[in-house]
Amino acid sequence: MASYDTVVLGGRIVLPGRGPVRADVGIKDGRIAAIGEGFSSGEADEAIDAEGNLVLPGAVDAHYHLGIYRDITEDAKSETPSSLAGGVTSIISYFRTGSHYLEKSGPYSEIFPEVLEATQGHSYVDYGYHLAPMARDQVGEIERLVGEDGVASFKYYMFYKGMDLAGGSSDAAGYTMSENYDLGHLFEIMEQVARVQASRHDGSRVSLSIHCEQPELIRIFKERVQEEGILQGLEAYSASRPTLTEHLAVAEVGVLAGHTRCPVNLLHLSSEEAFEAALELKRQHPALDARLETTLHHLALTYETYNDQRGKVNPPIRAQSDVDALWRGVLRGEIDWVCSDHACCSEENKEGDLWQALPGFGGTALIYPFMLTEGLRRGLSLERVVDLVATNPARAYGLASRKGAITVGADADLAIVDLEETHPVTTERLLSAQDYTPFEGMELAGWPTRTLLRGQTVFADGESTGSPTGTYLKRPLTEARPLSTP
């Protein structure tokens, strides 16, 4: 007779390759030990009633910025509960040297342990890191970072070639604390990533994520917007970094990735033009492993309806036609995953001159509520929503052996969600340290009533529960523990 630590009873479970099925889940030692029908509360120490609710795999928020504007530890403490509120149980956060974050440069062999140290013991979700080789020496660290440190994905920021994060200064070298952060540098990163990937034979994926905005064009458009002085707020910001700058950046990436055969992730596509350019890249390089990402806010907001400077983000919030194009890509399966690009950025950081205001804001708490509400309304199936926020990013980033799907043997990361009841978005509900939200007032269903991380309830009744038990995800994850109990 099977005996579980916990059983989740009576929910509709969204199973991979199947969609929602009325079944129960038995959890033992933090993993899913059984999925079946007719389990009883007597079989386990704890029984969770999921009757009337959906049971989803914990989401994988693949784009996150722990510690970009605040102390890493502080961010880990305050922001990962927000993830739990959205049903997110794993995050992969971007880290880089240079300005912001730790405000320093140097070898990752020294700095990355510091980052891990700062996070360790403070995160409420499991977490991994993408790292950005900002200086040439760091490119030489890629192989070791993959092999020893569990960092299976890297990043290049195209616009740092010519400006800082806020777009206010053209002192790129000062901001990145490095020389020659240009397409030559990108080329060298791609070569390294491709080389490491080619040397692997376990089917795992090493990849490079790219922020696609071309700064030489931004220089011109920003100046025009400033000189003309007609547009305001997010519309001005979008005009200063028009979609053509994404288009050009994607075209540049296409040539380099096609040549080096480097697996790439085109991050936070914000516009129809960027998306079309990405599809063209794939058409031109059919054998290239290129995956497309968009964000909650690019699927939710427009400068037409939310022109508030607090929505400043890179790439910018666009027009309704762009939102519609991105949804088309999501519906057709051409966009691979949706993430939050969560960066806790206080209202204070957003004030004053548009060009000095810091970009980014939080959204991780809306991963499931937004996608379940808006995605289902637009025709996504439940199974596809799960693919977009859990299964696909887990596969792209080396987590699939334990995260992103409800299967026997996987970590018991579950979001139990109420699809019936709707609530408006409020800052309180998001459990973040950020003191406003651009999503304020949206009426959403699909809020988690309970979130489990490796079998433990870590969020319930609108609050995170217990201590920060998140662990570092050394990627690619493997099935370290035996599937049968000893």
Where in 276-305 is the site for a second copy (CB under 8 A)?
277, 280, 284
Which residue in 8, 35, 47, 415 binds a second copy (CB under 8 A)? 35
Q: Which two three-digit tokens encode residue 13?
A: 């479970």
Q: Which is nearer to a second copy, 40 or 467 (CB)?
A: 40
Q: Which residue, 10 or 316, has its beta carbon nearer to a second copy? A: 10
Rounded Cα–Cα distance for residues 91 and 62 (Å): 6
Q: Any bridge partners for residue 31, and if so which?
A: 28, 411
Q: Indicate the residue type of 301.
A: L
Write each residue from 387 to 426 as x if it is in contact with a second copy (CB under 8 A), else as -, in one continuous string.
----x--------x----x-xxxx----------------
Return the number of the residue (1 or 110) whose C-beta is nearest a second copy: 1
Where does residue 252 rank: exposed (0-12), middle (13-18), buried (19+ CB within 10 A)? middle
Asked whether the bond before 242 is cis by omega within 30 degrees of 0, the reply is no
- Work out whether 381 is an interface residue with a second copy (CB under 8 A): yes
Q: Which of residues 358-377 bind a second copy (CB under 8 A)?
A: none
CB 484, min distance to a second copy, A: 6
Give the residue among 206, 203, 185 at the shortest CA–CA distance from 195: 206
Q: Which CB sits closer to a second copy, 426 or 485?
A: 485
DSSP β-ladder status, 443-444 and 423-424 = antiparallel
Q: Kindly tell me which residue out of 5, 43, 276, 324 binds a second copy, with binding defined by CB under 8 A.
A: 43
Report the distance separating Cα 373 and Cα 367, nearest Å.
10
3-state secondary structure of 56: strand
Pairing mode of beta strands 59-64, 88-96: parallel
Taking the complex as a whole, the smallest distance from the CB of residue 158 to a second copy amounts, in Å, to 11
Give the shortest CB-13-to-a second copy separation in angstroms.
8
User: What values do phi and psi take at 458, rounded to 5?
Assistant: -115, -10
Give CA–CA dist 374/327, Å, rounded: 10
How far apart are CB 54 and a second copy at their closest, in Å?
Answer: 15
Tokens of 66: 């722990």
137 in contact with a second copy (CB under 8 A): no
> Interaction with a second copy in 173-232: which residues (CB under 8 A)?
180, 182-185, 187-188, 203, 214, 216-220
Q: Which of 28, 63, 65, 475 binds a second copy (CB under 8 A)?
A: 28
Least distance to a second copy from the beta carbon of 409, Å? 4
Binding flags for a second copy, 150-169, as an x/- string (CB under 8 A): ------------x-------
Closest to a second copy by CB, 91 or 253? 253
Q: Token match 């991380």: residue? A: 453
Contacts of a second copy in 100-129 (CB under 8 A):
none
CB of 449 to a second copy, least distance (A): 22
Q: Count Cβ atoms below 10 Å from residue 109 Cβ, excluding itself.
A: 14
Nearer to a second copy, 4 or 112 (CB): 4
Closer residue to a second copy, CB minimum distance, 85 or 410: 410
Cβ atoms of 345 and 66 within 8 Å: the answer is no
Helices (H) and strands (E) in the chain, counts: 17, 19
Please choose, out of 36-44, 73-81, 105-113, 370-378, the segment that lies near a second copy by the rule CB under 8 A.
Answer: 36-44
**Residue among 51 and 348 whose Cβ is closer to a second copy:** 51
Please pick, from the candidates 1, 110, 428, 441, the single residue that binds a second copy as defined by CB under 8 A. Answer: 1
C-beta of residue 339 within 8 angstroms of C-beta of residue 83? no
Neighbouring CB atoms inside 10 A of 481's CB total: 13
Question: CA 481, 414, 377: angle at the middle one, nearest 5?
Answer: 140
Q: Which is nearer to a second copy, 151 or 217 (CB)?
A: 217
Least distance to a second copy, CB of residue 360, Å: 25
Task: Yes or no: say if 50 and 58 are a contact pair by the CB < 8 Å rule.
Answer: no
- Residues binding a second copy: number (CB under 8 A): 60
Total length of the chain: 486
Contact indicator for 102, 111 with CB cutoff of 8 Å: yes
Q: Please tell me the distance from the alpha carbon of residue 372 to that of residue 125, in angstroms, as a whole number.
A: 21
Per-residue binding string, a second copy, 244-263, x by CB under 8 A, is x--xx--xx-xxx--x----
Stretch that binds a second copy, among 13-21, 99-107, 122-130, 339-347 (CB under 8 A): 13-21
Q: Which helix or strand (DSSP H or E) is residue 235 part of?
A: helix 233-240
Task: Rule CB under 8 A: say whether 135 interacts with a second copy.
Answer: no
Q: How far is the CB of 168 from a second copy (least distance, A)?
A: 17
SS (H, E, C) 360-388: CCCCHHHHHHHHHHHHHHHCCCHHHHHHH
Binding residues for a second copy (CB under 8 A): 1-2, 13, 15-18, 21-23, 26, 28, 33-40, 42-43, 162, 180, 182-185, 187-188, 203, 214, 216-220, 244, 247-248, 251-252, 254-256, 259, 277, 280, 284, 381, 391, 400, 405, 407-410, 483-485
